[in-house]
Structure 1
Amino acid sequence: MKSHYHVLDGLRGTAAFSVFMFHIWELLAPTPEQNPLQHAYLAVDFFFALSGFVLGHAYDARLAGHSAGGPQLSKGGFFLRRLIRLHPMVIVAMLAGIVGYVLDPFVGDAQRVGVKLSLGMLLLTFGLNLLLLPAPTLPNYFGETHPVDGPSWTLFQEYIANLLYGLFAPRLGRKLHLVLCAASALALLLTARYFGNLGVGWGWDHFWAAPVRLACPFLLGLLVYRSRLRIALPSAYLLLSLVLLAVFMSPAMGKYGWLFEAACVIVLFPLVLMAGAGEVQPEGRGGRICRLAGELSYPVYIVHYPFIYLFAHWNWSTHPSRPVLAAVAIAMYCGVTLFALMLSRWYDRPLRAWLSRVCLEHEARAGLHARALQS
């Protein structure tokens, strides 16, 4: 049975909760430079690096037919497993997003169907985003490619990574892998310099930057796994969480900000992966925290943004006092976290278990039947 990297799971949670807090502070800080987590959008690049590592760990041997646990995993079986893992929470996030958009009580007619947009356009956008495809943006939503649930633009990139990995990773030799890592790192540097930062890819004006942000960290994460690069650290989860928070909370660096952010993705995040993979099974309270943070990371990340828009529109329309604003922000943070935990325990886990039993058993029987016909 494969080992599980609980420290890396916990770091995913650290990054997800940082993104959530970053989006709250976006509404409260007068300027981006005054956001105490102004670089927290780099959590997205860290997620991509984690994905490269985790996919390699979970599927490299199985797709290549070298796994001791059973026969070679088919490409169809791989894609089905990834769909079961990711898409149930996407459905919930999209439903929350569309309900929040239509019923938002703080925007007047700005989002009303029949005034600013047609029902057909709303349904088209919802349908495309439900499939994680880019869609026409919605009024009042800042030109996002995935306006029903903003963070899902990264899931679209994640699906692209899964597709390419399933098709080509077993044949990706080390020399070509190194060349692609170098080329994608150069592309990331040029993109960061062009924009002055890496907080791009979510809107139609800079949509082309999204696959650039995906390619470099994903390939580096896969390289870290395949090279068996490990760094042993005591209290790895705590120390590495502090490293990530130090990156996210770093001050503005003026004209060198783009270089700092690119260096974090190209150099620092692979080192964090190496150190996080050095401690496979943390014990005691630290292990429990890692597992809980890892469990909450995906649902918190994917469902929080509709609540951010409601919070923003309430704040902008009612102009509450600072104590009231702080109290509501804290209540939202805790409430969404509890909502994410409930979704994980009572929806996502049971549904994925059921889908795995039904779909994967059917897929296994189909594979056995096909092999019987060939023999």
Structure 2
Amino acid sequence: MDNNKLGTKPHYQILDGLRGVAAIIVVFFHLTEPLASSHLDNVINHGYLAVDFFFLLSGFVIGYAYDDRWDKLTIGGFFRRRFERLQPLVVLGMTLGAIGFYFTDSTIWPLIHTVPLWKLIVVMLIGYTILPIPLSMDIRGWQEMHPLNSVGWSLFFEYIANILYALGIRKLSNKALAFFVVLAGALLLHFAVTNTNGDVTGGWTLNAEHMRVGITRTLFPFFAGLLLSRVSKPVYIKNAFLWSSLLVAGVLLMPRIGGAQHLWMNGLYEAFCIIIVFPLIVYIGASGVVHHQTENKLCQYLGNLSYPLYMTHYVLVYFYVAWVSNYKGITLYQACSYALLTFSGAILLAYASLKLYDEPVRAWLRKKVK
């Protein structure tokens, strides 16, 4: 049956809003990151955990939206829906990254001087598919699988999780899924506590180490979200958006724990947040009700802006990082005005991308891709 005839379910408005809150913190994390002397003292130290939160949210929403529809929905129909939702902004982010590539020339990226136009175009076209490029095609020098738009790596793993869900994991019983999630959680905990970095960062390079990190970071939160969508029985929680937003902010803004002497402590904190706190936040968000028009509009705005903001902001962050690299030793206070200008530009770019590109393209795809 045509998947467009399936209809849609009501959105969890608060979960939409939480996605936006996390996306905004990601932008600030990327703006403070180049000012830190090491990974131990970033002002927004755990901002990268927003990716793990996004994975859990995605699993919950996918389970809610599709788990009870497979009697009418084909695998091809599921993939068409996901393609329509995710791919337009993947293409836009890579295109904008390519347009700005040569203009971010800086001593921090010496390879830019040597990259011919044809190679830039090839990397961009590969980026359109969200497939990772090999290290031999790195054109920026950061060893990223998507050097035109750094955040593309998480979309690569998002697609992997969607494929695993559609091709088999959706068929698991709740008990079997729970066993899978517990196993994935144990692997995540082990990695977080024993990792020599003392955190769960990684996943953006096409090598064995980063592929392991990416898969480890994806499997537990995505499928824990799926399990949560199946077994949770939300109860009414007053001011759920406020409390869940504060929890998200608290987790992501938490300073580094344990320092360089006790790296395992920070890993334990991150594992605790991903395994316990993030599911709790999603449960709270799913249990809330938006009563006021202002809160409803805020959640809707944040939800609509979240994915465009995440997929386009790093295009501007490249310029910001290049500027910071030209002023070694610059303080957060000195960089504040430029950081706020970059943040404002990221919000405007995301909104323009949403209204002028993403919404029209997705509407066109809904008509053409059936």
> Normalization by structure 1: what TM-score?
0.88
Which residue identity is paired with 2:182? A
Contact kept in structure 2, 1:60 and 1:169, CA below 8 Å: no
Paired-residue identity, %: 36
Higher Rg:
1
Alignment of 1:335 onto 2:345: yes
Deviations 1:54-99 (A, max 9, x none): 0011111111x2xxxxxx0111111001101111111110011112
What is the CA-CA distance between 1:118 and the residue it aligns to?
A: 4.5
Q: 1:279 to 1:326 in 2, by over 3 A?
A: same
Q: 1:100 to 1:282 in 2, by over 3 A?
A: farther
Distance 2:48 2:331 in 1: 28
Contact kept in structure 2, 1:231 and 1:274, CA below 8 Å: no
Q: Find the counterpart in structure 2 of residue 304 from structure 1.
A: 313
Deviations 1:289-340 (A, max 9, x none): 1110111100110111121111111222256787663222111101110111
Deviations 1:163-214 (A, max 9, x none): 1112224411112101100110011011112322111212345232101100
Distance 1:139 1:79 in 2: 31
What is the CA-CA distance between 1:8 and the residue it aligns to?
A: 0.3
Contact kept in structure 1, 2:157 and 2:214, CA below 8 Å: yes
What is the CA-CA distance between 1:120 and the residue it aligns to?
A: 4.8
Contact kept in structure 1, 2:107 and 2:325, CA below 8 Å: no
Q: 1:322 to 1:176 in 2, by over 3 A?
A: closer
Alignment of 1:314 onto 2:323: yes
Contact kept in structure 2, 1:102 and 1:111, CA below 8 Å: no
Alignment of 1:222 onto 2:220: no
Query: RMSD value over aligned CA atoms?
Result: 2.0
Which residue identity is paired with 1:216? F
What is the CA-CA distance between 1:36 and the residue it aligns to?
A: 2.2
Q: Find the counterpart in structure 2 of residue 364 from structure 1.
A: none
Q: Find the counterpart in structure 2 of residue 212 from structure 1.
A: 216
Q: 1:263 aligns with which of 253, 272, 279?
A: 272
Alignment of 1:14 onto 2:26: no
Deviations 1:13-53 (A, max 9, x none): 11111111001000123333332210111100100000110
Q: Find the counterpart in structure 2 of residue 365 from structure 1.
A: none
- Of stretches 14-23 and 32-41 in structure 1, the one that deviates more from structure 2 is 32-41
Q: Find the counterpart in structure 2 of residue 28 from structure 1.
A: 35
What is the CA-CA distance between 1:111 and the residue it aligns to?
A: 3.8
Deviations 1:126-179 (A, max 9, x none): 222221111135344321122111111000011111111122244111121011
Contact kept in structure 2, 1:6 and 1:282, CA below 8 Å: no
Distance 1:188 1:109 in 2: 33
Q: 1:109 to 1:24 in 2, by over 3 A?
A: closer
Alignment of 1:128 onto 2:164: no
Distance 2:114 2:164 in 1: 38
Q: Which runs of 5+ in 2 are unaligned?
A: 1-7
Q: Find the counterpart in structure 2 of residue 189 from structure 1.
A: 189
Alignment of 1:287 onto 2:296: yes
Q: Find the counterpart in structure 1 of residue 172 from structure 2.
A: 172
Contact kept in structure 2, 1:11 and 1:240, CA below 8 Å: yes
Q: Find the counterpart in structure 1 of residue 243 from structure 2.
A: 239
Q: 1:281 to 1:77 in 2, by over 3 A?
A: farther
Say which SS state the counterpart of residue 233 (structure 2) adopts: coil
Q: Find the counterpart in structure 1 of residue 367 from structure 2.
A: 357
Distance 2:294 2:26 in 1: 24
Distance 1:82 1:355 in 2: 11
Distance 1:124 1:222 in 2: 36
Distance 1:321 1:52 in 2: 39
Alignment of 1:149 onto 2:156: no
Distance 2:9 2:311 in 1: 27
Q: Find the counterpart in structure 1 of residue 4 from structure 2.
A: none
Q: 1:199 aligns with which of 154, 177, 201?
A: 201
Distance 1:262 1:293 in 2: 27
Q: 1:229 to 1:40 in 2, by over 3 A?
A: farther
Q: 1:22 to 1:231 in 2, by over 3 A?
A: farther
Q: How many residues are matched? A: 351
- Of stretches 136-145 and 17-26 in structure 1, the one that deviates more from structure 2 is 136-145
Q: Find the counterpart in structure 2 of residue 74 from structure 1.
A: 74
Which residue identity is paired with 1:79? F
Distance 2:311 2:338 in 1: 20
What is the CA-CA distance between 1:281 and the residue it aligns to?
A: 4.1
Q: Find the counterpart in structure 2 of residue 326 from structure 1.
A: 336
What is the CA-CA distance between 1:6 and the residue it aligns to?
A: 0.6
Q: 1:249 aligns with which of 250, 253, 259?
A: 253
Distance 2:187 2:367 in 1: 42
- Of stretches 169-178 and 46-55 in structure 1, the one that deviates more from structure 2 is 169-178
